[in-house]
Amino acid sequence: TSLHCNYSSNRLSSYSCRLSIDNADGKDDFYHVAGKHSPNKTNEDVIVVSRDSGTSKNIPSIICSTFTSLELIDFHNSNVEVISAEAFKKCKNLTVLNLSNNLLRELPVKVFERNVNLRELQLSSNQLAMLPDRIFKFLRQLEVLSLRNNSFVDFPSTLFRSQAILKKLDLS
């Protein structure tokens, strides 16, 4: 198993890590993210992590522990099956999370508890059949939520209670 970043800056001066990951067994036991930073850049400068190649059954918690300034995580179409309650705990600046087109069947109730700045959450095209009643409780800044193409039959009546500024909700 391995994690490797190809670091780069774009026109908007956001510093990113394009992640190559080999974690077919889904263990959350990484101790290091390999890769060489651009000159004068550190892990603290990384605000975007996207999966570039490889697969992982989970989102290793070392990503948020290593890159504590992350604003965007993009793991769409990555064959992710499981998200631990700790996966995004240290990503306190996260504003966009894309987990669409994966194999998620369930999410822990506290998975987004520390992501109070999250504005966009993409969970479309997974295998979710239900969501815990209080999963979005702390996401008061959420503006965009996509849950389309899942297996939902019903939602708890209080599921969206905290989303006063939600502008787009896709349940199709």
Beta strands in 75-172 (DSSP E): 96-98, 120-122, 144-146, 168-170
The phi-psi region of residue 54 (left if phi > 0; otherwise alpha if psi is between -120 and 50; otherwise beta) is left
Strands 120-122, 96-98: parallel, antiparallel or unpaired by DSSP?
Answer: parallel
Reduced to 3 states (helix: H, G, I; strand: E, B; else coil), residue 64 is helix
Q: How many CB atoms lie within 10 A of CB 76?
A: 16
Rg of the chain over CA atoms, in angstroms? 16
pLDDT at 32: 80
What length does the chain have?
Answer: 172
Residues 26, 58 contacting (CB under 8 angstroms) = yes
Query: What does the DSSP 8-state code read for residue 15?
Result: E
| pLDDT for the residue numbered 12 | 63
**pTM here?**
0.93
First to last CA, the chain: 36
Tens-binned pLDDT, residue by residue, of the chain (172 aa): 577 888 888 766 689 988 888 777 777 777 788 888 888 999 999 999 998 888 888 998 899 999 999 999 999 999 999 999 999 999 999 999 999 999 999 999 999 999 999 999 999 999 999 999 999 999 999 999 999 999 998 888 889 988 889 999 999 9
